[in-house]
Each structure stands twice: as structure tokens, then as C-alpha cells.
């Protein structure tokens, strides 16, 4: 399929059972939901999907189930970053063999975070398949001189874009000004999805789009088409909600998905979500309804 790598993509949850293993029935329900919402793509097994906390075999099983269900209905980008480059390469090759449309990877984990290490890691992964490759950068970490880093990144085969989780919009602008249309940039900061589009981002990948995908997609498209007032009012309310729920975000994710869609994403894998408080049904409904209301999807 000749998919476009742009628009709004959920950084998809990976539902878990009581043992912390992927829960395939709920995974299937979530995949079908995001397809029905006509999201522009799915980003699986990133940090929201707790990817690096699963075994290699579990990650492969999740990918196979998601691509079995999507079956060309929307693009799937899989995060293959792991503790070792060798495992990342194996996951990339598995992704290519089982229907993924693109691969992504964080830089080297835990070890020296230099630009050279990151580029070598990316080069090995990108060269393992013919799939479009989207490095996942956490801010300017490991990039150093952005202009030089992008020059070297563009020399790697199959590099098609980047996922940029940064609150520094100038970093997105710097990369876009350097690479132009040669890189499709995704903002990984949910709270800046509209702002990032002004800096050259072609799309947004985020955790909260699992919860409020239709609202966020409507606002992002409207903003790009010139509706500044909707963008402003929504983004301020969206940011307010994110700031409020962030200290207990994993329990908020679970409760909201249960109440809004009847999907149980399960407990977060420790240490994620440790000691987070439980939310009341009424508070979660009020927050969620407010988001949908400001987007113009419901009246409250």
C-alpha cells in the first residue's frame, strides 16, 4: 500500500493481562477502534506501548496481531528500539516480513548517548530492511549539532522522517529547515500537535490520541485549514487536562479507555504506574467530556 506518513497517529497502548503479558483480545478491540475512527496511522510498541518492557517474542506477537487486523486499512509503524542493536535489527526484519509499513527506533538505550552511537544504531536498523525508517529522537539528546546530525542522517538508506518528542519547537523548525521535504516529521509531544505543524511537522504521534483521537484529529485538521480560534481554545483545554492527569496518567489512561470504549488496557508494567492513584468514574467522564465538547463533538 502507498500510504502517506502524515496526520494524526495514536502511539498505541499495548493492553496487558494480570501477568504483564500482552492481552490479545483487548489489543484486537483497540486496533479495530482506531481503524473505525479513521486515524491516519498506528505507531505501535513505543514507550506508550511499553515496547522495551516486553520480550522479543511478545513484541513480535503484538506486531503480527496488529498487522493481521489492519491488513492494509491504515499504515502501521513499529518501534523496534531495544537494549541491543542486534535485537532491534531482528525486530526490524520481523516487521518487514509481517506487514509493517514503516519502522522506528529510539537511539541507544542506557549506553553512551553520543551522536555517533545513535547514527551507527540507526544505520544498522535502517539497512536491515527496505521499509521507511523514522528515528525517534527525545529532544536534541544524541543529536549534538543538529545541522551536521541531519546531514549524516540523510545519508542513511531508507530514512524517511523522524518522530520528535520535544517541547522545543525550534528543534523541529531547525530540522525542517535543514531537511525540507526529505524528512516527514512527526511531533511526539501531544500537547503541541498544532504548534508543531507551524514548524514543519507533517503529523503528530501521541498517547492521548488513543483516548481522544476524533477530537484531536478534527482540531488538527481544522487548525491547518485556518481555524485559529478552535485550535487555541482546544489546545489550552487539552494542555490543562494533560497537566492535571500527568502525575497519575497510567491509571487515567486505563480508566478512560474502560469508560469511553469498554476496552481494558490492563495495568502498566512496573515501574510504570507505580503508586499512581485511582480515578473516580465521574472525574474521568467530566475531563473526557470537556475535551470532546471543546472540539465540538458533543454538547455538555
Angstrom distance (rounded) from CA 25 to CA 23: 6
Q: Is residue 159 part of a domain?
A: yes
Average pLDDT estimate for 151-156: 96
pLDDT tens digits, 170-191: 999 999 999 999 999 999 999 9
Q: Which domain, by its residues, includes 103?
A: 7-212
Secondary structure element (H or E) that encloses residue 11, with its range: strand 7-11
Q: Say whether the peptide bond before residue 271 is cis (omega within 30 degrees of 0).
A: yes
Q: Is residue 249 part of a domain?
A: no
pLDDT above 60: residue 124: yes
| Weakest-pLDDT range from 20-34, 126-140, 206-220 | 126-140
Please give the C-alpha separations between residue 87 and each of 50, 84, 128, in angstroms, as whole numbers.
16, 5, 11
Q: Is residue 153 part of a domain?
A: yes
Average pLDDT estimate for 193-205: 98
pLDDT for 4 equals: 83
Comparing 137 with 64, the larger pLDDT belongs to 64
pLDDT for 109 equals: 66
**How would DSSP label each residue in 256-286?**
HHHHHHS----PPPTTTTTTPPPPPHHHHHH
Domain tally, the chain: 1
Angstrom distance (rounded) from CA 297 to CA 291: 9
Average pLDDT estimate for 243-262: 98
- Residue 2 pLDDT class (50, 70, 90 cuts): low
CATH code for the domain in which residue 90 is found: 3.20.20.70
Amino acid at each position: 500500500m502507498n500510504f502517506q506518513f502524515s496526520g494524526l497517529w495514536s502511539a498505541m497502548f499495548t493492553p496487558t493481562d494480570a501477568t504483564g503479558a500482552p492481552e490479545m483480545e483487548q489489543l484486537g478491540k483497540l486496533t479495530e477502534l482506531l481503524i473505525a475512527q479513521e486515524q491516519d496511522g498506528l505507531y505501535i510498541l513505543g514507550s506508550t506501548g511499553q515496547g522495551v518492557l516486553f520480550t522479543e517474542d511478545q513484541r513480535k506477537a503484538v506486531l503480527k496481531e496488529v498487522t493481521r487486523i489492519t491488513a492494509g486499512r491504515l499504515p502501521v509503524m513499529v518501534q523496534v528500539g531495544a537494549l541491543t542493536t542486534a535485537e532491534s535489527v531482528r525486530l526490524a526484519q520481523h516487521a518487514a516480513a509481517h506487514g509493517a509499513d514503516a519502522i522506528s527506533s529510539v537511539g541507544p538505550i542506557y549506553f553512551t548517548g553520543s551522536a555517533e552511537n545513535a547514527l551507527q544504531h540507526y544505520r544498522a536498523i535502517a539497512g536491515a530492511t527496505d521499509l521507511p525508517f523514522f528515528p525517534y529522537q527525545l529532544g536534541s539528546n544524541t543529536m549534538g549539532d543538529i545541522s551536521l546530525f541531519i546531514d549524516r542522517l540523510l545519508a542513511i538508506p531508507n530514512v524517511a522522517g523522524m518522530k520528535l518528542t520535544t517541547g522545543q519547537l525550534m528543534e523541529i523548525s531547525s530540522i525542517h529547515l535543514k531537511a525540507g521535504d526529505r524528512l516527514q516529521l512527526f511531533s511526539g509531544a501531544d500537547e503541541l500537535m498544532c504548534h508543531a505543524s507551524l514548524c514543519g511537522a507533517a503529523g503528530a504521534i501521541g498517547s492521548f490520541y488513543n483516548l481522544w483521537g476524533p477530537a484531536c484529529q478534527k482540531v488538527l485538521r481544522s487548525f491547518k485549514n485556518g481555524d485559529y480560534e478552535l485550535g487555541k481554545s482546544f489546545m489550552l483545554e487539552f494542555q490543562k487536562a494533560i497537566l492535571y492527569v500527568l502525575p497519575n496518567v497510567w491509571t487515567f489512561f486505563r480508566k478512560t479507555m474502560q469508560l469511553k470504549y469498554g476496552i481494558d488496557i490492563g495495568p502498566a508494567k512496573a515501574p510504570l504506574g507505580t503508586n499512581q492513584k485511582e480515578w473516580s468514574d465521574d472525574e474521568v467522564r467530566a475531563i473526557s467530556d470537556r475535551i470532546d465538547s471543546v472540539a465540538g463533538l458533543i454538547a455538555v
